[in-house]
Structure 1
Amino acid sequence: MQDFVFSDPWALLAACLAVVLVGFSKGGLGGALALLGVPIMALAIPPVQAAGILLPVLLAMDAISLWAWRGTYHAGTLKRMLPGAVVGIGIGWLTAALVSDGAVRLIVGALALIFAARWLLSGNVRRAAPRAENTARASLWASVAGYTSFVAHAGGPPFQVYAMPLGLDPRVYTGTSVIFFAVVNVIKVVPYAALGQFDPANLISAAALLPLAVLATLSGAFVVKRMRAEVFYPVMYALVVLVGLRLCWDGLVALI
């Protein structure tokens, strides 16, 4: 098919792997997994094109996740974080041409590693004592999440820096993150369209990946709904470390 981006078998394999990992993440199995989508897909196609193809797929995954986690969320966290996310997306749109993808990946990766290291060095290898909600801190990290989500689909670590120390029940945490990023991704549609990332080839390729995206998202939700808190949080932090290392590596390679 002339307009199908993934005509090469290896490119198609990379795209399918990226969609499976992001789908597991969207279902709730480790929000950090979503950060691997663009880097893996970018092994075969340009990163900007990978982000453009992935956004429609993310929107479809968000719809499935919202259904799977309906009625399970923390309203206070969303009220504190969503306004900041809108600000971050706006900054990302205005500065899209000024900041390199490599720099963003390095910054996000470093934040993820610092966050995980703090948790490990504190001795809370299982589950840290819950931290109280704070509007200023929520606005700050939500702005960073909105910005990094816009420029690299990498809003997971900044969101986790604020939300994970709250010690929410795993189901509530996951449902809250699902709503947060569903809103963020819907808002991103307008600026992405304005930047020309929704051409016919990208949309056709995204549509071809949708069935796999639905299956992966439902599978992630199935696993997380059966995972205990003492298992959920160590797994999440381990994923944050792995993704942080990958993002730092990608950022350094791009900048050198």
Structure 2
Amino acid sequence: MLNLDLWFFAVAGPAVLFAGISKSGFGSGAAFASASVLALVVDPGLALGVMLPLLMLVDVASLRPYWGRWHRREALLIIAGALPGVALGAALYRVASPDVLRLLIGTLSVGFVAWQISIKQGWLRIGTRQMPDGAGVIAGVAVGFTSFVSHAGGPPAAVFLLSRQLGKTGYQATSVLIFWAVNIAKFIPYAFLGMFTLETAKANLMLAPFALAGTWLGVRAHRIVPERAFFALTYVLLTVTGAKLIYDGLT
């Protein structure tokens, strides 16, 4: 049962606002935390059901500012892997514990940031080449699965996209396109699993302004923040979300 009281909106409003800013401005890496925050006040399954339509709203609102600025090859590689990943998530949602996957993805995310820092500092002089196309498809499977079970597809997508050395806006636009497609693919399985109710629909209508406000703020923040600072913040978000996934997996 979803209780739409003042406490719910005190928690959900800022969480949705944060998701909009993260998705529309900084590559979606930390947007998954909003579902985790929302799970503090509602059942986790309902939290996922509440968040998905709001994330889709942010996706649609973010498409126009970044239209045509994405890197189509990288996006298609991840989407190609994400579709079977979503199907796998739907098939295993009722029986699979996502904790092990959270632990693996979190470790990969934090390890990737440490690896990139080591290269930039000159501590390592190997592994500077871009990840191959096949790695994008593999990352896509992780994106689809983790996005389905916890809206946590941002970190595996970031690992691959950052390795391809895209520009600031190209990276952001590609991320927007990827999750627009992935979230559409998740909608029907979520409906069949009973994750949408009349209460979640009411919550969506009342929280939609927070999602749109977050999108507006995120797009403008993206334009203001310099490229070097953008990627520094992206690495910070990837580290924080990776650490949170590790913590969730262990606890």
TM range (shorter): over 0.9
Which residue does the alignment assign to 1:123? 120
Which residue does the alignment assign to 2:188? 190
Which residue does the alignment assign to 1:234? 232
Matches within 5 A, 1:89-168: 89-124=86-121, 131-132=129-130, 134-168=132-166
Which residue does the alignment assign to 2:10? 13
Q: How many angstroms does 1:33 deviate by?
A: 1.9
3-state secondary structure, aligned to 1:6: coil
2:247 pairs with 226, 229, 249, which one?
A: 249
Equivalent-residue separation in structure 2 for 1:173 and 1:190 (angstroms): 28
3-state secondary structure, aligned to 2:30: helix
Choose 128-137 or 108-117, whichever is displaced more: 128-137
* Residues 1:85 and 2:82 are matched in the alignment: yes
List per-residue Cα deviations over 1:133-164 (Å, max 9, x = no partner): 62211111111111100111000011011111
Which residue does the alignment assign to 1:215? 213
Which residue does the alignment assign to 2:45? 48
TM-score, reference length from structure 1: 0.90
Between the aligned residues of both structures, percent identity stands at 30
Structure 1, unpaired ranges of 5+: none
> Contact 1:88/1:143 (CA < 8 Å) preserved in 2?
yes
1:58 pairs with 55, 58, 78, which one?
A: 55
Q: How many angstroms does 1:179 deviate by?
A: 0.4
Equivalent-residue separation in structure 1 for 2:10 and 2:105 (angstroms): 26
Equivalent-residue separation in structure 1 for 2:116 and 2:7 (angstroms): 38
List per-residue Cα deviations over 1:96-132 (Å, max 9, x = no partner): 112124334333322221221212222359xx99744
Equivalent-residue separation in structure 1 for 2:228 and 2:128 (angstroms): 14
Structure 1 moving runs of 4+ over 6 Å: none
Distance 1:41 1:71, change over 3 A: same
> Contact 1:59/1:182 (CA < 8 Å) preserved in 2?
yes
Structure 2, unpaired ranges of 5+: none
Two-structure CA RMSD over aligned residues (Å): 2.0
